[in-house]
Every structure is written in structure tokens, then in C-alpha cells.
Structure 1
Amino acid sequence: MRLTYPLLLNAKPQDKPYKIRDRDSMYLRVSVSGSKVWKFDYRLDGKDCSYTLGRFPDLSIADARQLRNAAANLVASGVHPKAHEKHLQQQNVAHYKNTLWPVCEEWLNDNRANWTAYYHGQATRFLARYVKDSQLGAMPIRDVTVAHLYDLIQSIAKRKTISGDERKAEGAPHIAIRLRQHLDAVFRRAIISGRVDSNPVAALKPSDVVTLPPTRHNRALEADELKHVLAAFWVTGTSLTRLAMRLLLLTSVRTVELRGATWREFDLETAIWALPGERMKMARPHVVPLSTQAIEVLVKVKEITRPKTSGDYLFPNARDKSRPMAATTINAALVRAGFNNERLFRAHGARGTFSTWAHERGFVPLAIERQLAHVEKNRVSRAYNKAEFLSERQKMMQDWGDYLESLRD
């Protein structure tokens, strides 16, 4: 009987499974449920065996015959087709594990407990964007050369066109340097696990592949300059952005700490903002005393956002309240207000301005460092500062709030 597609497609199930035979020991097995599977019967090592080729109609008659011929050749060589298939699967798994991206994943997972959530997320995003989604990600790690990595890092540092998730058609030299650091650690891990013998990243010194632009420091502002910034904080951006800028200046926290803040971290009655360690740069819990001016800002923020749970963000994203305010929002507002080039001032500059003011006012240096969440290198100082200077810092932050208010007045 000549097998045709309509014949096989219209074959109906019966009370018992049955076979529609082709040639050379191949047939289509129709089950009671109606499923149809190509099978190949053979004899090897004195035993009758059966090998499944695939399902019909996913596997056509012609393709099934080709697979049958390949299986018959294996049997002729004394190899069971199923054993050969399993061997190929194991080879594929081993090959995948030894490509660049899975090694990157292993490195990221190994370091998850040692890093802050922010740093781990950043490293994951960089490697996923530039390695996983590129040809390098699927390349065996042993085959990755210095030239491959040089081209990758250069393409990031000197980017001219928008591609993938990129937002701007311009180079990102600092990201290129950070990616080089990550890949250096990934290859060192691969050496330890025996998957490579050398580290190609080691041949690429940062200065050889990336030219960093001159550093633009966020300088501390004088009183007159600070007045201009404060004035901008009352007219620039949306009402929520203006409140975010004011709270940033009043608390001297990092921008990422402000953006990720949720209402559960605040106790307005005791005027304390308690940041958990997983949100801090050095993974240590941090307490920020709140001035009366900061409390006023928080009350206004609550009136605007009307949070429903303690887990809601203080400053939710304008498009998606389940996410925090975008990382560029505050600095973009400052640029629009004219704080660029010669008048350069960025959100992070608020910390330097506060630090300069506090030192000039004679506050205890260690209290200032504690307020800025800087970790002292000296173990004795670090232990002494763990829960100290709170009263000093409360006075310092209230004086700072009063000072900013006097400048605005």
C-alpha cells in the first residue's frame, strides 16, 4: 500500500493500537486516543528493538524515511539509535554550558549574596544586553578571542547608532569599562572551572580600548548658587519631581536611595527614615534623621500619590506605579533648568554641598560621614559609629533644613 498524506491524516483510531506499515521496517502507529507516531523496528545484540522517529503530521513521510535511514545506518554500525540520540543531547548540554553566556550567569548567581540588589541588577543588565543578546553569548568560551572582546568594548564606547535597548546614539565609555571588569571576572571564573586556559580580557587594559571623557565633578555650591538651585526646585518639572529634588537636598541621600524609597521605611512621628541594608551601596542599614522641612515634603508627597500600601514607592514612575521614578528624571529637570556646562549641578552634587556646609559649621566629621552613609575603614571607628551620633545628626539635619529655608526666604 502506497502511503499518502491524506491516507495517514484520515486514519481513525480503533479499539486497539494498529500499524500502517511503510517499507524497511518503518510504520505509523495509531493509538487508541488517535495520536500517530512514526516507529522503526530493528534487531541488535540478539534483541528486537523499536525506535521512535517522531509524530505525524509534524514529521512528514519523507522526513521520517530519512530519519529511518540514518537510524538503520547506526544499527548497521552496532549502535542503538536511542543511545546515540542521548549522547548527542549530552553533548549539546555540555556545549551550552561552555558557551560564554551560561558562564556569565554562573558568575552572577555566585555573587548574588555578596552584592546589593542594585549592583547585581546592573551587572545582569549589562551582561544580558551586550553578551547574551550578541553572537558572543552563544560562542564557546574557549573560542572567544582578544579581538572579539576588543570589538565589543569599542562598539559600546564609540557607539554611533541606536540598536537594541540603547536609548541614545552616542558612546558609553563608562559602561564599556564596567563591562570589561565584569568579563574579566567571568573569564577568571572560567579558568578556575577548567573551561579556559587563559583570560583574553587581561590583554585589554582599560586605557587601550576606552578613552574616558574628562571627569565633571559635582562641585559644592556657594550660598548664592544654592539659592538658584532652590528656586529651580520650586518651578522645574512636575510637582512630584520638585518634591523629590527638595527631599534629596534635605536628606543628602544618594539618588538611587531616594528613588527606591517606600513608605514602610518612614516613621513620621519619630522623624526617622530607616533604609534597609539591601538598598544601600555598602549593604549596611542606614538611618536618616528628618528635619521638619523634610517632614513637610513627605506630607505633600503623600497628598499627591495617595499610597495604598506601605510598600508603595514615594516617587512612583509616571507610567507605571509598580516601578520607581526613572533614574534620569531629576537630572533631566536640572538640565532643563539650565544647570549644565559651566553651571553644572547634578543630583549627586547635593551630597557634596551638604558635606561642605556641615564641615564649615563645625559638626563632628565622623557624624557627617555617618550621615552620608560612608563606611569608615578603621574598625574601631566603624564600631563606635554604628549607633552613635544620632542626636548630633538630628541637630545637623534640622540646622541644614533651616539653612536651606533661610536661603529660599
Structure 2
Amino acid sequence: MLTDLAVRKAAPRDKPYKFSDGGGLYLLVTAAGQRYWRMDYRFGEKRATAALGVYPTITLAEARAKRLEIKKQIAEGINPAAKRKIDKITGPLANVNSFKAVAEEWLDKARREGRADVTVGKLTWLLEFAYPVIGDRKVGEIKAPELLAVLRAVEKRGHYETARRLLSTCGQVFRYAIATGRADRDVSADLRGALIVPKVTHRAAITTPKETGALLRAIDAYSGCPVTHAALRLAPYVFVRPGELRQAE
């Protein structure tokens, strides 16, 4: 096994050479005098070498800790090389991991995908119910009861359908967090059946030609705002929601 003194005194030679510490860990000393920590290991049927850093930035104790970490990964069936690649990709996102930060990132993605401003506005409005309670929590640490508390607060106001839509929207945020490496699972899935199902109130509908004719004559006779009159006359031809008709270009 190596000692701190031996590592400090490792001098360059004509060719690169290794100082072994056991367990696959060694100090590689180049002809120019640089000293690199390396670890040889086997995963499955393949041999590989992990770069653990440069001495003295990485001390002997730190190199040994990294060796132990790699051995634990192998014991758990995790490929150390693959894990390093994943960590390199997800690392920059690791510090931007609060629920609110992930949600705002997801909303920005929706905007760049061309979602309508009205749609993004509704999603933003829904998520603002959640921010005071779980906005600052790490998205990967949020538990189902925490999310349920947010939804129960909305239900107490009698807004049952809003609570259901908020649950669906939060689920999309959690799934985005999973895709970007900041959560392992979508806890909204655990709340299926936990919310109050609002009673559906059926509205009166026009179902006969006679009633339809009366409606069209009433539209023609409308004497209010010209813009409203134009919209009413157009509506029977396009069958869209009022909001969609107002936003039409």
C-alpha cells in the first residue's frame, strides 16, 4: 500500500510507471513528473480504467474513497463508466432542482415548442397553487402526502376540477424532472383516486332542427356589439370554444 510520503516523493523516470495501492488503484507517474490517480477494474467481461484525478489536487485518502465508491457501484450492478457519462450530462442540472425551478424550465420548454400563450398562462396559474408549499423543495424528495396537501387546499375552496387539473400538471413536471435526471419517480401517480370527483352538471342542449332555427334567427336579430355579432354568426360554422374563437386570427 502507498503512503503519503511515498506519493509525495514519487519522482519521474525515463518512462511512465505505476505505484500500486492495491484493489486496482495506482498512481501513474509520467516522464514529465505529472502524477495521476487511476483504477483498473472489471465490469462483466470487460476491463476498464477509471481516471480519478490528479495528485495533489486529489489526495491519497480521496483516491481511496473513490476506489471504494467504484467497488460499491460494481457490487450493485452499476457500470462506473456509464454512470460517469450520465453524471456529466445531468451534473449542470443538479443544482437547479427545486420544484419551482423545474416547473419554470418545463413551462419555458412548452413556450419554445409553440404552445399558445393562453395555454402556458393557464399552466402557470395552476402551478402557482403549488409553489408556496413545495416550490422550494427538491423535486426528487417530494412525497405524495406533500402534493396531496397542496391539492386538498384547492379542494377546500370548492375548486375540485382545478385540483384535478393541478394534479395532472404537476405530474407533467415530475415526468420532466425524471427525464432530466432530477427525480426518480412521478409521485402524482400515487394520488390516483385520492381527489374528490366533481359532480357533472349537464347543460341544456339544442337537439332539434326547430330549436336550431330559432337560435340562428336570434343570432341574426342580435343588435349589440358588431364584433360579438360577427363572432356569433361565425360560431355555427366552426364549432370551437369561445376562447378559441376570440383568439382566432
Structure 1 portions without partners, runs of 5+: 1-92, 160-170, 263-409
Q: CA RMSD in A?
A: 3.1
- Following superposition, the deviation at residue 255 of structure 1 comes to 2.5
The equivalences for 1:9-408 within 5 A come to 97-114=96-113, 116-117=115-116, 118-127=118-127, 129-132=128-131, 134-159=132-157, 171-205=158-192, 207-214=193-200, 216=202, 219-233=205-219, 234-235=221-222, 238-262=225-249
Letter in 1 for 2:190: A
Checking the alignment, whether the CA contact within 8 Å between 1:100 and 1:136 is kept in structure 2 is yes
Question: Closer, same or farther in 2 for the Cα pair 1:109/1:202, shift >3 Å?
Answer: same
What TM-score, normalized by structure 1, do the two folds share? 0.33
Letter in 2 for 1:124: T
> How far, CA to CA, are the matches of 2:198 and 2:223 in structure 1?
31
**Aligned residue pair count:** 156
- Following superposition, the deviation at residue 218 of structure 1 comes to 6.8
- Following superposition, the deviation at residue 155 of structure 1 comes to 2.5
Checking the alignment, whether the CA contact within 8 Å between 2:139 and 2:182 is kept in structure 1 is yes
Checking the alignment, whether the CA contact within 8 Å between 2:144 and 2:190 is kept in structure 1 is yes
CA deviations 1:314-340 (Å, max 9, x no partner) are xxxxxxxxxxxxxxxxxxxxxxxxxxx
Letter in 2 for 1:102: A
> How far, CA to CA, are the matches of 1:192 and 1:183 in structure 2?
14
Letter in 1 for 2:120: H
- Following superposition, the deviation at residue 210 of structure 1 comes to 2.6
Question: Closer, same or farther in 2 for the Cα pair 1:193/1:247, shift >3 Å?
Answer: closer
Question: Closer, same or farther in 2 for the Cα pair 1:189/1:208, shift >3 Å?
Answer: same
Q: Secondary structure at the match of 1:248?
A: helix
Structure 2 equivalent of residue 338 of structure 1: none
> How far, CA to CA, are the matches of 2:201 and 2:96 in structure 1?
40
CA deviations 1:204-237 (Å, max 9, x no partner) are 00x3213122252674531232244335433486
Question: Closer, same or farther in 2 for the Cα pair 1:157/1:232, shift >3 Å?
Answer: farther
Question: Closer, same or farther in 2 for the Cα pair 1:239/1:120, shift >3 Å?
Answer: same
> How far, CA to CA, are the matches of 2:114 and 2:161 in structure 1?
20
Question: Closer, same or farther in 2 for the Cα pair 1:213/1:236, shift >3 Å?
Answer: farther
What TM-score, normalized by structure 2, do the two folds share? 0.51
CA deviations 1:295-317 (Å, max 9, x no partner) are xxxxxxxxxxxxxxxxxxxxxxx
- Following superposition, the deviation at residue 135 of structure 1 comes to 3.1
Question: Closer, same or farther in 2 for the Cα pair 1:194/1:94, shift >3 Å?
Answer: closer
Question: Closer, same or farther in 2 for the Cα pair 1:235/1:131, shift >3 Å?
Answer: same
CA deviations 1:127-157 (Å, max 9, x no partner) are 2x3234x232123324422222112222223
Structure 2 portions without partners, runs of 5+: 1-91
Checking the alignment, whether the CA contact within 8 Å between 1:96 and 1:138 is kept in structure 2 is no
Structure 1 equivalent of residue 88 of structure 2: none
Question: Closer, same or farther in 2 for the Cα pair 1:140/1:215, shift >3 Å?
Answer: same
> How far, CA to CA, are the matches of 1:190 and 1:94 in structure 2?
10
Checking the alignment, whether the CA contact within 8 Å between 1:95 and 1:140 is kept in structure 2 is no
Letter in 1 for 2:126: F
Letter in 2 for 1:104: A
Question: Closer, same or farther in 2 for the Cα pair 1:258/1:198, shift >3 Å?
Answer: closer
Letter in 1 for 2:167: R
Checking the alignment, whether the CA contact within 8 Å between 1:96 and 1:102 is kept in structure 2 is no
Overall identity of the aligned pairs, in %: 28
